[in-house]
Amino acid sequence: MSGSARQAKGVTAVLVDYGGVLTTSLHDAFEELSAGLGLDATAVGEAFARDTSLQQALTAHEKGELGDAGFEEALGRALSGVAGRAIAPEGLLRRIGETLRLEESMVALVHRLRREEVPVALVSNSLGEDCYRLIDRDALFDVSVISAEVGVRKPSRRIYQIACERLGVDPAQCVLVDDLQQNLDGAARLGITGVLHRRPAETVAALESLLELSPGAGTPDGDRG
């Protein structure tokens, strides 16, 4: 289906998350960092879940109100409390980023959507100045909406509004692909359809159905299973 025909039918544009969708999961990255620090595999994840000071620092960091060094200080303090020993904060964000790997099948899906004239926006809560080093945002997406750059984070409705405005589409025409249900819930309040990402093949199939794409067209065989 051409882009003009898709618009006439009111078919959706796509908003896509970065960490855990276009890359391997942050949960796995946290486990790798924990192991690298000599801690229990759940240590970093539990620090984010339980330490309110770290949660506040994360919110400020994602909104661009706290720089990398300030956030690393907060993370280092939280992990020091868990470990019972001092954890140096310097380089913690870099170490998280280095464990992330691209989900090549999902990147291929974005390229396919662009070829099919489907507008695609990256909508992401940032984690560090270099967290998007694995991709060329300008080449891969029509627009990018990064929390630290716009001062608002998911699941706030405003970040999705910004993405829709930049794409020039109505929220009801959009689908959000994200690995966190809370982010899909925030988008749903604007009328945006949600696809909870678990496995690339499932996400590909869901978007093929929503956008009326031919199943598997332009998708490598290895990306279907």
Q: What is the pLDDT of residues 106-162, one digit of tens each?
A: 999 999 999 999 999 999 999 998 899 999 999 999 999 999 999 999 999 999 999
> Which range (132-136, 168-172, 221-225) has the least confidence?
221-225
The answer to whether residue 51 scores a pLDDT higher than 50 is yes
User: What percent of the chain stands above pLDDT 70?
Assistant: 91
44/168 Cα distance (integer angstroms): 39
Place of tokens 């093949």: 201
Fold of 26-99: DNA polymerase; domain 1 (1.10.150)
Please tell me the CATH code under which domain 3-24+101-223 is placed: 3.40.50.1000
The answer to whether residue 165 scores a pLDDT higher than 90 is yes
What ranges do the domains of the chain cover? 3-24+101-223, 26-99
pLDDT of residue 215: 85
Q: Is 26-99 in the same CATH topology as 3-24+101-223? A: no
If DSSP codes are grouped into helix, strand and coil, which group holds residue 146? Answer: strand
Place of tokens 């627009």: 143
The answer to whether residue 219 scores a pLDDT higher than 70 is no
Secondary structure (H, E, C), 44-113: HHHHHHHCHHHHHHHHHHHCCCCCHHHHHHHHHHHHHHHHCCCCCCCCHHHHHHHHCCECHHHHHHHHHH
What is the pTM assigned to this prediction?
Answer: 0.90
